[in-house]
Amino acid sequence: MKFIFKSLFLISTSSLLFTGCVKKEIELQKLESEVIDPSFAFPIGGATFNLGRIESHFADDFFIYNQTTGLLEYIYPKQLFNLKVADMIQFPNPSASANFGMPVGAQSTLVGGGAGTTVNFYHQSTTTFNAPNGELMDSITVKQGSLDINLSSDFMHSGSVDVVIPSLTKNGGAFNKTINFTYSGTTPVVNTASFDIAGYKLDMTDGGTTNNTSRFAFNATITSSGAGVSSSDEIRFTIDVVIDTLQSAFGYFGSYTNILSQDTLPIDFFENLYGGQVHVEEPRIEINVFNTAGIDVKTDFVGVIDPASGPTSILSGAGLNLPTILGANNPGDTAVTPHLIDNTNTSPTLTDMVDAGPSEIIYSATSETNPGAGTPSSFVTCESRVWGDSRLVLPLNGWGNNFQFRDSTDADIEGVVDVDSADIENIEAFTLRLIVDNGLPIDAFVQAYFCDTNFVIIDSLFDVAGGQNIIKKATVNFSVPVGDPNYGRVTLTGAKRKITDIVMDKTRFNNLVNNGAKKLIYVANGLTNDAPNRSVKFYPEYNLKMKLSAKVDLTYQLRP
């Protein structure tokens, strides 16, 4: 599996094989014998790779230890969706209109008194706001917004109107603003005004008796210009509550559908595996949906597609239908709805999808607010949102069959042996001995290619085309039933030792140096025990131990 080879060959092998330095421990020119041909054995280093500390070797990946099963698990976290209030609800901006004339008594006073006479009259109206999606609104508190007023007067007189909205309040006081209008010889007389209503609360219950309703009061003052008054003269208002940012709202907000779109989950588990097969026994997708709004939401995944296989759904089943996501009880609360997708509720199984080795999974979903019958009262705030977090969990329980892993690293061959340039000519052979004690249920055949800086291959590490088996698989317990926890587990004495000598003669060494060998490409072919017939398990106590030593054969002609 990828995690074994990525860690083994990038962490251990590269640091041991090609960055250790062979030091000259003897000052050769001080020897008195005329010709010498010594061999020197130098310990270069060793390393123990423990699966229980695997997370420290992977900056981009995430491993966990499952305390229930004891297995290591490979995790892909992904936020599936993040719905804000504006994504779930489209609040209609409340709008009201009113028109009223002058009472007969006020008309007589105005006309009879002549120019400069002032009269006052009062009008009250109740408006039921439009609810295009069946909303039943109780109240809205505005974080940012305005109240826009348009006035039109048929009177050939100037005046003003105090607009009072008892249900629009802030700090206990009702909205109360004055709109002036000036007659200049033509009608209608018009004026517009816009008022900041940040922090105002609009109550739409009309005293707790209904929804979507507010009252308006108009106190008009008109000063006679000396002209007459017609019985059809009136003052007309349109009032728009413009909500730029909502602070909070209470009521029933209607049902909205199709508020989710398509998204992609990248899967890099297989990105460095070339050929062969990898099988995961019990993958699962853990989903937690968090809801800080008081709205219930129903979400279903309608399609899960591997784009490499074409535009065909590769996963279906009851597991793709999430339970109803319950709303929070109160502002500031977070409701959590968990869900699990695994082999028991998918068709084909989740294992089938993972074993196909997708590089990404494209999923699309539908979602509906306030599903089902009834009109429950709920709430939202400016910070309310519904988001779903998922984890694709791949337990390290399965098999790998003839899969290949490739990677590259720097490898300055000239710097491997710390001798003077003149001394390089005296090297007859350079031998590395690699001792591997393997407690992992994996066989590995490894080949490495020496390249220049442009990755042009100069030579290979081993003469055999497929490389050498430098890691011998540990012994696994297959004698117990498959359901037994110890099935597929490395036995207590199962670790295997493999000793590999890597010999490089003078000609090969000089060829690498002269051709500028600066890079090394690794190619490893892996096989788990008895794959593809049986699965093995990876536990934190498994170890891989490596020791590396070197032998340099030199020939020196000493001066007398």
Q: Give which of 390, 389, 380 is closest to 292, Cα–Cα.
A: 380
- Claim to verify: residue 137 and residue 245 sit in the same structural domain: yes
- Claim to verify: residue 323 and residue 437 sit in the same structural domain: no
Structural domain count of the chain = 3
- Claim to verify: residue 239 and residue 140 sit in the same structural domain: yes
- Claim to verify: residue 234 and residue 119 sit in the same structural domain: yes
- Claim to verify: residue 32 and residue 103 sit in the same structural domain: no
- Dist. CA 320–CA 304, nearest whole Å: 9
Q: What is the pLDDT of residues 270-308, one digit of tens each?
A: 665 666 788 999 999 999 999 999 999 988 887 777 776
pLDDT at position 265 over 90: no
- Claim to verify: residue 342 and residue 315 sit in the same structural domain: yes
- Claim to verify: residue 81 and residue 110 sit in the same structural domain: no
pLDDT at 560: 52
Is-cis flag, bond preceding 395, omega within 30? Answer: no
- Claim to verify: residue 146 and residue 199 sit in the same structural domain: yes
Contact 461, 401 (CB under 8 A): no
Confidence (pTM): 0.76
Of 363, 395, 427, the residue at which a domain comes to its end is: 395
Q: What is the pLDDT of residues 100-151, one digit of tens each?
A: 999 999 999 999 999 999 999 999 999 999 888 888 999 999 999 999 999 9
Average pLDDT for 242-268: 83
DSSP state for residue 423 in the 8-state scheme: G
End-to-end, the C-alpha distance of the chain in Å comes to: 59
Q: Give which of 396, 370, 358, 374 is closest to 74, Cα–Cα.
A: 396
Cβ atoms within 10 A of the Cβ of 171, count? 7
* Residue whose token pair is 């999430």: 322
pLDDT at position 426 over 90: no
- Claim to verify: residue 453 and residue 532 sit in the same structural domain: yes
Q: What is the pLDDT of residues 475-486, one digit of tens each?
A: 999 999 998 999
Of 350, 376, 395, the residue at which a domain comes to its end is: 395
- Claim to verify: residue 550 and residue 402 sit in the same structural domain: yes
- Claim to verify: residue 163 and residue 178 sit in the same structural domain: yes
Return all residues near 68 (Cβ < 8 A) that are at least 6 apart: none
Contact 213, 195 (CB under 8 A): no
Of 252, 283, 308, the residue at which a domain comes to its end is: 252
- Claim to verify: residue 383 and residue 460 sit in the same structural domain: no
List the domain range (segments joined by +) for residue 524.
Answer: 2-71+398-557
